[in-house]
Structure 1
Amino acid sequence: MPSLSKLSALLFALVSTVAANTGDLTFYTPGLVQFYNTFPGATANPNLNPICGKMATVNYGRKSIRVTITDKCYGCALYDLDLSPFAFSLLADLSIGRLHGADWTLDA
């Protein structure tokens, strides 16, 4: 089984490292965070965004996973996350499609 630290997931929100955030979880092949471009230190080059490569802890029910931020999404709500199919499957069956009320924090 691959290491979770090597698996990517997408985060779809700008967060502080102190606050917990609650939103929906969805999944699809990593693609594109609503406020990704406004993360402190972001430039016009999305490949240089300082949020890329940061880890986040995602909690849903009694399960918790760590994911790596890799990209942004234009269609997500403020605190929603878009996970890779593998990361989503660690929390619930893919057939569910959307998990409401997941908590997550950007790791320090």
Structure 2
Amino acid sequence: MKLRTALALTISIPLAAAYVGDMTHYTPGVGSCGYTSGPDDAIVALSVPMMANPANPNSNPKCGTKISIYNPSTGQTTWATVVDTCVGCEEYDIDLTLSLFNQIAPDGNGRVHGIEWGGDAVGG
């Protein structure tokens, strides 16, 4: 566990920039990182270009990275762990569990535009 924490801190640098994209939600299971996640977990899937999957996606350096997610419409901020790849997402879009989506966008209709996210705290 300590190794995973240290690794996550080390690899947050590539995601340190703030990105802006759409936020959607999905039902998780076993993600491209090899982690099994449930509907109440604070997890996120990044787009194929952002993940830049290596030959073995389980060894992707972005797996396990924590990102900050900010909704400027509501002022809500949360953190999530990268565990999956969103095949249907545009480059800067993110896909969350429904429970996490509802925390940051309680009035969202399934897609929220203009979400800020990155490896460092963003927004607000």
Identical-pair percentage: 38
Root-mean-square deviation over aligned CA pairs: 2.3
Question: Which residue of 2 is the match for residue 102 of structure 1?
Answer: 115
Match of 1:44 in 2: 55
Asked if the contact 1:23–1:101 (Cα under 8 Å) also holds between the matched residues in 2, the reply is yes
Q: Which runs of 5+ in 2 are unaligned?
A: 1-12, 33-46
Which residue does 1:34 correspond to in 2?
48
Q: How does 1:1-108 map to 2 (within 5 A)?
A: 16-30=14-28, 33-38=47-52, 43-61=54-72, 62-93=75-106, 96-107=109-120
Q: Deviations over 1:6-38 (max 9, x none)?
A: xxxxxxxxx933321000000011256212552
When the two structures are superposed, what TM-score results if normalisation uses the length of structure 1?
A: 0.73
Pair 104,74 (structure 1): closer, same or farther in 2 beyond 3 Å: same
Q: Distance in 2 between matches of 1:60 and 1:95?
A: 11
Q: How far is 1:93 from its partner?
A: 2.8
Q: Which has the higher helix share?
A: 2
Cα pair 1:54 1:107 within 8 Å, conserved: no
After superposition, what is the alpha-carbon deviation per residue over 1:61-103, rounded to whole angstroms, capped at 9, x for unaligned?
2000000000101110000000111110101237611110000
CA distance in 1, matches of 2:18, 2:56: 28
Aligned mates of 2:94, 2:108 — CA distance in 1? 17
CA contact (8 A) 1:88 1:94 kept: no
The letter for the 2-side match of 1:29 is T
Runs of 5+ in structure 1 lacking a partner? 1-14
| Number of residue-to-residue matches in the alignment | 91
1:51 Cα offset (Å): 0.5
Quick check: which has more Rg, 1 or 2? 2
Q: TM-score, normalised by structure 2?
A: 0.64
